[in-house]
Chains A and B, each alone.
Chain A
Amino acid sequence: MSEFPISFTLEYPYERTLGPVIGPFFTALRDGRVLGINCGNRVICPPVEYDPDTGATLEPDFVEVGPAGTVENWTWIAEPTSKHPFQEPFAFAQIKLDGADTAITHAVKAAGPDAISTGMRVKIQFCDERVGAITDVYFVPEADAQEQTITPGEKEVRKTIHKISLVYKEKLYPSRARYVQGLLDGKFIGQRSPKTGKVSIPGKGYDSIGRVTLSEADDVELSATGTAVSYTVITPIQYQGQTKTEPYISAMIFLDGSDQPLIAQEVHGIPADEFRAGIRLRAKFKAAGERNIDDICNSWMFCSTGDVIERWEPTGEPDVPFEDFPEFI
């Protein structure tokens, strides 16, 4: 029995609205200047919107700081990941820029851990490509700094984009793994509770109503025929990762003998105006080698049937009348 180790990469470009303080800071950074904000008798860099001591709103009263400063603290990144600013070893340091009273945390390009120390002087360097983000700059030991001529950009920077990327790896829990194995074998495997007699698909390994544990002995194979009790026609909304473009029927189907519907079953090949609640359907599975279960995870809320069903086709039996729908409908 496979444990179905699954892996999924989650990626998305989030945006951040920058507002009246961070916006000017990033705009200036793109244009070759570093701004701090006046806060009482201190200059805070990077600037903050609210006084960290009193919580009072800070007026956007900026002062230029840097471009050089002093390392207050540092750590060496010996093995950078793809998300780090440099792909060769470097230091993250807290740097108090000249004219500021607080330190900014940033990357320092240094030859090695022996080439950086607390109290050392460093200077900001601007990247050639700048978009108005914290990654527009980096630091080097002051002696290594190059003189730079910066051409200012045009528009005010109002937002930044942050592309996140996470890789999830997990194993399907046993009852879910048997459900998935069933789909690969062209079968619907559910579980019957010995306490309530109710059949759910997929089974969860426990009966949440009767509060008993379910085991492999409680597995039942369900018929591939069932009744659509409701449906919607979905016009796909485009978002990051969405590949669907055309409207499609999404139906709630009770397999014969099941007490819990399969939800969001895509129906193709039956025109929307001929589809109806009560229609009898049979799942025609894809050929054995073409069944794909990659999008099934351990999520308990809405579990899909993967990509194993070629199509739902009418059985030709008479429709089930509304009054004979499963109990909740």
Chain B
Amino acid sequence: MAERCAVVGLGQTKYDRCLRVTMDGLVREAALKALDDAGLTFADIDAIVLGKAPDALEGVMMPELSLCDALNAVGKPIHRVHTAGSVGASTAISAVTLIESGMYNTVLTVAYEKQSDGDFMWALSGGKSGGQGAGGSFAPWIRNYIARSGAPEHIGWKVAVKDRLNALKNPLAHLHMEDINLESVKESPMLWEPLTFYEACPSSDGAAAMVMTNKAGVKRSSSKAPPAWVIAHAKRTELAVYPGRDPVKPLAGVDCAKELYKKAGITDPRKQIDCAELYVPFSWFEPMWLETHLICEEGDGWKMVDEGATEIGGDFPVCMSGGVLSSNPIGASGMVRCLEAANQVRGTAGDYQVDGAKVAMGQAYGGASNYFAMWIVSSDPDPTFN
């Protein structure tokens, strides 16, 4: 690796059902916010990396072409990344590699979804009846997790409440559920047993963008906030279906975390990482990923939730921004996890800032829990861990 990559600008739209602007306007809004945060303009950008979930979600094929004007990409290299729900994180990582390789000095990366232009359930079911939705696919595995770990049923409700309370501190979050509590989650309609309506993510429109650069570029940037240094990243994929596959604790998710920690020099993730934004579209994935990504021992993920360890103020806060449970612009959701990790180590997370956060993890998964992408950012370009 020739260059250390720094994140110097963050931009997000409000997450909601957006009828204000076009798809072009949405990605541009996030891009301009990120450039403004970095104290740079489109003229400073050498290349663009764009990500979104399947084209069928909005029915715009190869949107990286039609969005060129909005992203000021005419005459510049533009890359498109596609890895299902994990795409936002994969996109961010692809942008990082363009800096690390020394290929470009400053890169803009953008990810988005405009779910209100289409229908997620329709697209995922291939236009046929009987689509179960993502919840229907994941629910049996969640049931297996509960059976394996012996977790009590209130764990799922607790994650749903925690993330929605965190979202109240984030003005950009889609859901602001002031009155949410364990009882209201439990009593909300049962959608995919054991998952209730309030344990599932919303459908959101929105875009997220980051400006990345090298050490020399950090000096050129006039951002008011310090950079977040990308100290490690990893991606792993496995087949969605094969004999002997463990969909509750996928091997790809375990191996991805191992590689990530090894590259970062992390030996005890729970102690050495200050907080994490994990991709939790359904409540139970928080304890499942804590275990799969080796943040705790197998069977202990739900105990971390139960003890409050993953709340802001706990020893390992998760989804401080409100997470995917509070905003899910699918293609952008993975990038938001990476972006919010950077937000924490820059000390710019406002009301949901974790005190003194110096090392943070952003993670996303997609498909049938078979795509994983994650990174670790730090306020220090070369941190050491003991």
- Check A12–B127 contact: CB distance below 8 A: yes
| Cα of A260 to Cα of B368 in the assembled complex, Å | 15
Q: How far is the CB of A264 from chain B (nearest CB, A)?
A: 6
User: Taking A209-B243, A230-B141, A250-B132 as contacts, is the C-beta distance between A235 and B126 under 8 angstroms?
Assistant: no
Is B246 on the interface with A (CB-CB < 8 A)? yes
Which chain B residues lie closer than 8 Å to A322 at the CB level?
147
Give B220-232 as 1s and 0s: 1 = Cβ < 8 Å from A's Cβ atoms: 0000000000000
Q: How far is the CB of B210 from chain A (nearest CB, A)?
A: 19
Q: List 15 A-B contacts (CB under 8 A).
A: A12-B59, A21-B22, A52-B74, A229-B144, A230-B144, A235-B191, A235-B192, A240-B119, A242-B129, A263-B140, A301-B367, A322-B147, A328-B245, A329-B144, A329-B148
Is A137 on the interface with B (CB-CB < 8 A)? no
Is B128 on the interface with A (CB-CB < 8 A)? yes
Residues of A within 8 A of B (CB): 8, 10-12, 14-22, 48-50, 52, 55, 57, 158-159, 162, 164, 193, 196, 198-200, 208-209, 229-235, 237, 239-244, 250-252, 259-260, 263-264, 272, 277, 295, 297, 299-302, 322, 327-329
Which chain B residues lie closer than 8 Å to A12 at the CB level?
59, 118-119, 122-123, 127
Question: Which residue of the partner chain, among B70, B118, B129, B148, contacts A243 with CB atoms under 8 Å?
Answer: B129
User: Taking A302-B241, A328-B246 as contacts, is the C-beta distance between A239 and B119 under 8 angstroms?
Assistant: yes
Give the contact stretch, choosing among B13-21, B270-278, B318-326, B342-350.
B13-21
Range class of the B interface residue count: 35 or more
Q: Which of B92-147 contact A (CB under 8 A)?
A: 114, 116-119, 121-123, 125-133, 135-137, 139-141, 143-144, 147
| Cα of A20 to Cα of B121 in the assembled complex, Å | 29
User: Taking A232-B139, A235-B190, A277-B147 as contacts, is the C-beta distance between A19 and B130 under 8 angstroms?
Assistant: no
Q: How far is the CB of A176 from chain B (nearest CB, A)?
A: 14
Q: How far is the CB of B292 from chain A (nearest CB, A)?
A: 13
Which chain B residues lie closer than 8 Å to A329 at the CB level?
144, 147-148, 248
- Check A49–B70 contact: CB distance below 8 A: yes
Instruction: List the A residue with the shortest CB-CB distance to B59.
Output: A14
| Cα of A198 to Cα of B247 in the assembled complex, Å | 17
Is B268 on the interface with A (CB-CB < 8 A)? no
Question: Which residue of the partner chain, among A14, A50, A234, A240, contacts B136 with CB atoms under 8 Å?
Answer: A234
Sort A-B residue pairs by CB-CB distance and give the 10 closest, nearest first. Answer: A232-B139, A259-B243, A55-B72, A230-B140, A198-B243, A233-B193, A19-B22, A14-B59, A328-B246, A239-B121
Q: How far is the CB of B24 from chain A (nearest CB, A)?
A: 6
| Cα of A193 to Cα of B69 in the assembled complex, Å | 52
Question: Which residue of the partner chain, among B139, B147, B242, B247, contacts A209 with CB atoms under 8 Å?
Answer: B242
Identify whether the interface residues of B are mostly helix, strand, loop, or mixed. loop
Is B364 on the interface with A (CB-CB < 8 A)? no
User: Taking A12-B59, A322-B147 as contacts, is the C-beta distance between A241 and B127 under 8 angstroms?
Assistant: yes
- Check A55–B19 contact: CB distance below 8 A: no
Is B25 on the interface with A (CB-CB < 8 A)? yes
Is B352 on the interface with A (CB-CB < 8 A)? no
Question: Which residue of the partner chain, among B117, B248, B367, contacts A16 with CB atoms under 8 Å?
Answer: B117
Instruction: List the B residue with the shortest CB-CB distance to A307.
Output: B130
Question: Which residue of the partner chain, among B18, B132, B136, B143, contacts A230 with CB atoms under 8 Å?
Answer: B143
Question: Which residue of the partner chain, among A18, A57, A193, A328, contacts B247 with CB atoms under 8 Å?
Answer: A328
Which chain B residues lie closer than 8 Å to A260 at the CB level?
241-243, 245
- Check B21–A17 contact: CB distance below 8 A: yes
Q: Which of A19, A22, A297 has the most CB of B within 10 A?
A: A19
Q: How far is the CB of A261 from chain B (nearest CB, A)?
A: 9
Is B23 on the interface with A (CB-CB < 8 A)? yes
Instruction: List the A residue with the shortest CB-CB distance to B70.
Output: A50
Is B171 on the interface with A (CB-CB < 8 A)? no
| Cα of A230 to Cα of B18 in the assembled complex, Å | 38
Q: Which of A16, A20, A200, A302 has the most CB of B within 10 A?
A: A16
- Check B117–A17 contact: CB distance below 8 A: yes
| Cα of A22 to Cα of B116 in the assembled complex, Å | 17
- Check A48–B69 contact: CB distance below 8 A: yes
Question: Which residue of the partner chain, among B127, B192, B239, contacts A11 with CB atoms under 8 Å?
Answer: B127
Instruction: List the B residue with the shortest CB-CB distance to A21.
Output: B22
Instruction: List the A residue with the shortest CB-CB distance to B121.
Output: A239
| Cα of A14 to Cα of B115 in the assembled complex, Å | 10
Is B240 on the interface with A (CB-CB < 8 A)? yes
Which chain B residues lie closer than 8 Å to A234 at the CB level?
132-133, 136, 139, 191-193
Q: Which of B136, B140, B143, B242 has the most CB of A within 10 A?
A: B140
- Check B136–A250 contact: CB distance below 8 A: yes
| Cα of A45 to Cα of B189 in the assembled complex, Å | 50
Which chain A residues lie closer than 8 Å to B128 at the CB level?
8, 241, 295
Is B380 on the interface with A (CB-CB < 8 A)? no
Which chain A residues lie closer than 8 Å to B139 at the CB level?
232, 234
- Check A196–B143 contact: CB distance below 8 A: no
- Check A22–B131 contact: CB distance below 8 A: no
Which chain A residues lie closer than 8 Å to B368 at the CB level?
301-302
Q: How far is the CB of B369 from chain A (nearest CB, A)?
A: 12
Which chain A residues lie closer than 8 Å to B148 at the CB level?
329
Which chain A residues lie closer than 8 Å to B131 at the CB level?
239, 242
- Check A19–B25 contact: CB distance below 8 A: yes
| Cα of A152 to Cα of B133 in the assembled complex, Å | 42
User: Taking A55-B69, A243-B129, A301-B240 as contacts, is the C-beta distance between A50 and B24 under 8 angstroms?
Assistant: yes
Which chain A residues lie closer than 8 Å to B298 at the CB level?
none
Known: A230-B143, A232-B194, A263-B140. 9 other contacts (CB 8 A): A18-B22, A50-B72, A235-B192, A240-B127, A242-B129, A242-B131, A264-B132, A295-B128, A328-B244
Q: How far is the CB of B110 from chain A (nearest CB, A)?
A: 14
Give B243-283 as 1s and 0s: 1 = Cβ < 8 Å from A's Cβ atoms: 11111100000000000000000000000000000000000
Is B58 on the interface with A (CB-CB < 8 A)? yes
| Cα of A20 to Cα of B18 in the assembled complex, Å | 13
Which chain A residues lie closer than 8 Å to B190 at the CB level?
233, 235
Instruction: List the A residue with the shortest CB-CB distance to B19.
Output: A17
Instruction: List the B residue with the shortest CB-CB distance to A228.
Output: B140
